[in-house]
Chain A
């Protein structure tokens, strides 16, 4: 399956589109890298890419678009693959059992540990980031009101190996600045 993905970059007046294209995509390895080190993109949602630029780059940003191949052999999918989600939960519980209930499990570091194992050779991770505090209400509720489907979408893809997911066609889609 082909996915369109979007990356938001802070805008600088001296940057040319060609420089962004040649220099990109941006690699993230700091405290914002909640899925571990890699190139972070928004999955499909252009709206999320603009939201990030508005909130984090004070409305001075560039949205880049690219394409990638997506499948469960190359992408560790914590959004859509039940097997991946269940397996990852087992690993988290394992770490939690060692650390104790009071110590939070650092997800990004656990993922880095997993990627240190050669057989964990995914090229990317996909996950939907949910806010822990002030979580938005579930909009799609079944008639009796006790269950619903969580359609809240802040889905990101963190690409660790660009070749492995056939990353291509990276280009500037929109510039937003005063």
Chain B
């Protein structure tokens, strides 16, 4: 706990950050930034994903796109449902749709605890 009381040293941080950034190529730096997670990234809202889901099912665009879409949807669910930031009725609908998609794509259904 003692280290938490040390004031932030912006000079030291700046030197470390500069060395880190300058030591990377553009692609390496982009990869490092992406590794920091999906924070602050502009992504589709759940409502937008539901519309896309309906459209995708209607158009029957095939397995490859279904799998790609499911990956994105699964990421959203993984973050939103445990956090409680989703009305239960919508969460249920999304979960059921996701299960249906997985079955359609011949993937193993996700368990309740995973969702």
Binary contact track A30-70/B, C-beta < 8 Å → 1, others 0: 11111111000000000000000000000000000000000
Closest A residue to B25 using CB positions: A98
Judge whether A121 and B21 touch: CB under 8 Å.
no
Which A residues are in CB contact (< 8 Å) with B96? Answer: none
Shortest CB distance B1–A (Å): 9
CA of A98 to CA of B17 in the docked complex: distance in angstroms? 13
Interface-facing stretch out of B3-11, B54-62, B63-71, B102-110: B3-11
Judge whether A12 and B39 touch: CB under 8 Å.
no
- Which residues of A are at the interface with B, using a C-beta cutoff of 8 A? 10, 12, 23, 26-27, 29-37, 73, 76, 83-84, 87, 90-91, 94-95, 98-100, 103, 106-110, 112-114, 117-122, 161, 163-164
CA of A114 to CA of B39 in the docked complex: distance in angstroms? 14
Count the B residues whose beta carbon is within 8 Å of the partner chain — how many?
40
Judge whether B13 and A120 touch: CB under 8 Å.
yes
Which A residues are in CB contact (< 8 Å) with B16? Answer: 117, 119
B24 at the interface (CB under 8 A from A): yes
Known: A94-B21, A95-B21, A99-B29. A108 touches B88 (CB 8 A): no
Among A36, A103, A108, A164, residue most surrounded by chain B Cβ atoms (within 10 Å): A108
CA of A35 to CA of B30 in the docked complex: distance in angstroms? 18
Which B residues are in CB contact (< 8 Å) with A84? Answer: 10
- Which residues of B are at the interface with A, using a C-beta cutoff of 8 A? 3-4, 6-10, 12-14, 16-18, 20-22, 24-26, 29-30, 32-34, 36-43, 79-80, 83-88
Shortest CB distance A21–B (Å): 14
Picked from B7, B17, B87, the residue with its CB within 8 Å of the CB of A113 is: B17
Known: A94-B18, A119-B13, A121-B6. A99 touches B43 (CB 8 A): no
Judge whether B14 and A108 touch: CB under 8 Å.
no
A-B contact pairs, 28 of them (CB 8 A): A10-B84, A10-B86, A10-B87, A12-B84, A12-B88, A27-B83, A29-B37, A29-B79, A31-B42, A32-B40, A36-B39, A94-B21, A95-B21, A98-B22, A98-B29, A99-B26, A99-B30, A106-B40, A106-B41, A107-B40, A108-B40, A108-B41, A109-B36, A113-B20, A114-B17, A117-B16, A120-B8, A120-B13
Judge whether B7 and A26 touch: CB under 8 Å.
no
Judge whether A113 and B36 touch: CB under 8 Å.
yes
